[in-house]
Chains A and B, each alone.
Chain A
Amino acid sequence: MFWLNTKRIIRTGLLSFWRNGFVSLSSILVVTVTLFTIIVIIFTNVVLESVLADMRSKVDVNVYFVVSAPEPQILAMKDSLNKLAEVSSVKYVSREQALQEFKDKHKDDYLTIQGLDELGDNPLGARLNIVAKDPSQYEGIVKTIEDKNALVAPDQSIIDKVNYQQNKVVIDRLSEIIIGAKQLGFLLALVLMIISVLITFNTIRLVIYMSREEIAVMRLVGASSTYVRGPFIVGGMIYGVISAALAMFLFWPIAIWLARATTDFFGGVNLYTYYIQNFFQIFFIVLMAGIFLGAVSSFLAVRKYLKV
């Protein structure tokens, strides 16, 4: 009996969807707008994350070592820093590399190069270039570096200076911007989602309101609540499936159009490439959202008219 009823509910849902052509079309368009909003939110988040990651990668802290600092001690510190969860990368720049970088940087500055040659020895110490996963974590990392320094070289500090204090204002400001941007993005996404969901829910409620007499008749001829409600839920799910496909299809040319702009201006993320590479994951999310929205809206809207 369960399978027979399920088969009948699905068949009735499909038939009603087909026969209520104009109403179905209107509902699909509204659900499509909602799902399109979800896609826009997903892609906006991708762009925002890319921009923020780009900004984060531009912030780093350098630990400059004294000229006499032994290389094994510096490498030991590098290894222990690499193990920290907050650290994204640690790059070791030897004294020789530092000298070469300096020369390359000042190759057109004859006086500086001459002065360097007159010294006869390499005046530059080695350094560690540290990039944190989040700018707000630099303070903790610097504290760890100072502790490590005390452990690695208890008698005499091997660290000449850490440029954190110089960059602190910029880092703190950037941390605030990143947190603010994330919160604003989340808030906007939430507001857009709530508006879209409410519009979808009200549209489906209106569709079912038009069928209230039909529901009353079904109840009077002895149909159970499940049997009355089922076809409407199936209809809602069909709206979701078609709308998901439509929203993905509509976003395709937009992704192509936005690809160049996002690559050039937003930290290198190519929206079209992202769309193609993650097509099935995004489609799955949108499809599930569509089915869920359609089914739940129908379920709630029919409930009101079942009390006959």
Chain B
Amino acid sequence: MIYFDKVAKKYSNDPNAFAIQDINFSVAHNEFVSIVGHSGAGKTTLLKMLLAEERPTEGNVFFESVNVNELHRNEVTKLRRRIGMIFQDFRLLPNKTVYENIAFAMEAAGRSDEEIAFDVPHVLELVDLGHKIWDFPGHLSGGEKQRVAIARAIVNQPDIIIADEPTGNLDPVNTYEIVQILKKVNDIGTTVILTTHNKGIIDLLGRRVITMEGGRIIRDDASGKYVL
């Protein structure tokens, strides 16, 4: 489904200033892959490549046999509609209600008003936030915000969910709940790529772990542990 082929990225002309280099890995349908590593290891850069936020200096990134690097801006927009994004800082739209935040992602994907009216309450029930539907993000706790972000990410039934440090700002209880939701999403057939620092999460998941250090992949274990 996803294939990184000899990918490297550098942000300056310094020949040694690679953010990531020599990245080769693939992710199959319905996989749950965790990417771990210290800050600056290149995890977020890797995800940005997949979203076409950044273009590789060398190599190619394929999403279902399409070379992401060669996509035109309009095609990038379409690609992103097939990917659900979850961020550490939630990135909800502050002037929109919970309902409107999720509806916006559906509107962007060209869904009808009837579909939106039906799906948004349903997906909010899935993340146990049906009672907060008309609240603004400013009135939600960190855990609730992240659950709204997950609802927004899954509402268009994307092929893949990318979660960039989704539990970084959460307490252990909320962290556990978010991980359970991600597992549930994966169980119903969605590929999940998760970056994290949290050893507990990795051990709890018991799924494939890619370990990065200094911009390179140093381990790729099918049912790995957090080893750093």
Which of A101-109, A182-190, A210-218 lies at the interface?
Answer: A210-218
A interface footprint on B77-102 (CB within 8 Å = 1, 0 otherwise): 11111010100000111110000000
**Contacts of A218 on B, CB cut-off 8 Å?**
93, 104, 108
**Contact indicator B108/A19 (Cβ below 8 Å):** no
A4 surroundings in chain B (CB, below 8 A):
112-113
Check A72 for interface membership: any CB of B closer than 8 A: no
Bound Cα distance from A8 to B113, whole angstroms:
10
Tell me if B74 counts as interface (CB < 8 A to partner A).
Answer: yes
Q: How far is the CA of A220 from the CA of B79 in the complex (A)?
A: 10
Contact status A222-B105, CB under 8 Å? yes
Rounded to whole angstroms, the CA-CA distance of A214 and B89 in the bound complex is 13
Q: How far is the CA of A261 from the CA of B113 in the complex (A)?
A: 59
How many residues does chain B have at the interface if contact means C-beta atoms less than 8 Å apart?
26
| Cα distance, A213 to B85, chains bound together (Å) | 15
A16 CB–B CB distance under 8 Å? yes
- Chain B's closest residue to A211 (CB) is B95
- Chain A residues lying within 8 Å of B93, measured Cβ to Cβ, are 214, 217-218
| Interface: A221 (CB within 8 A) | yes
Instruction: State whether the Cβ of A198 lies closer than 8 Å to any Cβ in chain B.
Output: no
**Are A222 and B80 neighbours in the complex by a CB distance under 8 Å?**
yes
Question: Which of A16, A213, A221 has the most chain B CB atoms inside 10 A of its CB?
Answer: A221
Q: Complex formed: what's the CA distance from A220 to B158 in Å?
A: 13
Chain B residues with Cβ below 8 Å from A216 are 91
B104 touches A220 (CB 8 A): no
B51 within 8 A of A: yes
Q: Which residues of B contact A220 (CB under 8 A)?
A: 51, 53, 80, 85, 91
**B187 at the binding interface (Cβ < 8 Å):** no
Say yes or no for A225: interface residue by CB 8 A criterion.
yes
In the complex, chain B residues whose CB is within 8 Å of the CB of A85: none
When the two chains form their complex, are residues B107 and A213 in contact, meaning their CB atoms are under 8 A apart? no
Chain A interfacial residues counted at CB < 8 A: 21
Assess whether A16 is in contact with B95, with CB atoms less than 8 Å apart: yes
Q: Are A214 and B104 in contact (CB under 8 A)?
A: no
Contact string against B for A residues 127-167, beta-carbon threshold 8 Å, 1 for contact and 0 otherwise: 00000000000000000000000000000000000000000
State which residues 148-174 of B face A: CB under 8 Å.
Answer: 152, 156
Residue in B77, B85, B95 whose beta carbon sits within 8 Å of that of A224 in the complex: B77
A218, B107: Cα distance in complex, Å: 11
Task: Say yes or no: is B109 at the interface (Cβ < 8 Å to chain A).
Answer: yes
Bound-complex Cα distance A221 to B92 (A) = 11
Q: Mark A220-256, 1 if CB is under 8 A from B, else 0.
A: 1111110100000000000000000000000000000
In the complex, residue of chain A having the shortest beta-carbon distance to the beta carbon of B83: A222
Say yes or no: B95 contacts A221, CB within 8 Å. no
Question: Which residue on B lies nearest to A1, using beta carbons?
Answer: B110
* A308 contacts partner chain B, Cβ-Cβ < 8 Å: yes
Given contacts A223-B104, A225-B73, contact A214 B94 (CB under 8 A): yes
Q: Does A281 contact B (CB under 8 A)?
A: no
Q: Are B51 and A222 in contact (CB under 8 A)?
A: no
CA distance A308 to B85 in the complex (A): 14
CA distance in complex: A89, B221 (Å): 100
Residues of B within 8 A of A277 (CB): none
Contacts of B113 in A (CB 8 A): 4
> Which of chain A's residues 255-308 have a Cβ closer than 8 Å to chain B?
308
- Asked whether A213 lies within 8 Å of B108 as measured between CB atoms, the reply is no
Interchain CA distance A286-B4 in the complex, whole Å: 56
Q: With the chains together, A220 CA to B186 CA distance in Å?
A: 21
Q: Are A223 and B110 in contact (CB under 8 A)?
A: no
Verify if A20 is at the interface (C-beta below 8 Å from B): yes
Complex interface residues of chain A between 6 and 20 (CB less than 8 A to chain B) = 8, 15-16, 19-20
CA distance A216 to B152 in the complex (A): 15
Write out the residue numbers on chain A whose beta carbons fall within 8 Å of the beta carbon of B81.
221-222
List 16 additional A-B contacts (Cβ < 8 Å) besides A15-B95, A218-B93.
Answer: A4-B113, A19-B95, A214-B94, A216-B91, A217-B93, A218-B104, A220-B51, A221-B81, A221-B104, A222-B80, A222-B81, A222-B83, A222-B105, A223-B108, A225-B73, A225-B77
Q: Which residues of B contact A (CB under 8 A)?
A: 51, 53, 73-74, 77-81, 83, 85, 91-95, 104-105, 107-110, 112-113, 152, 156
Chain A residues within CB distance 8 Å of chain B: 1, 4, 8, 15-16, 19-20, 213-214, 216-225, 227, 308
User: Can you offer 21 A-B residue contacts whose CB atoms are under 8 A?
Assistant: A8-B107, A16-B95, A214-B93, A216-B91, A217-B92, A217-B93, A218-B108, A220-B80, A220-B91, A221-B80, A221-B104, A221-B108, A221-B152, A222-B77, A222-B78, A222-B81, A222-B83, A222-B105, A223-B104, A224-B108, A225-B77
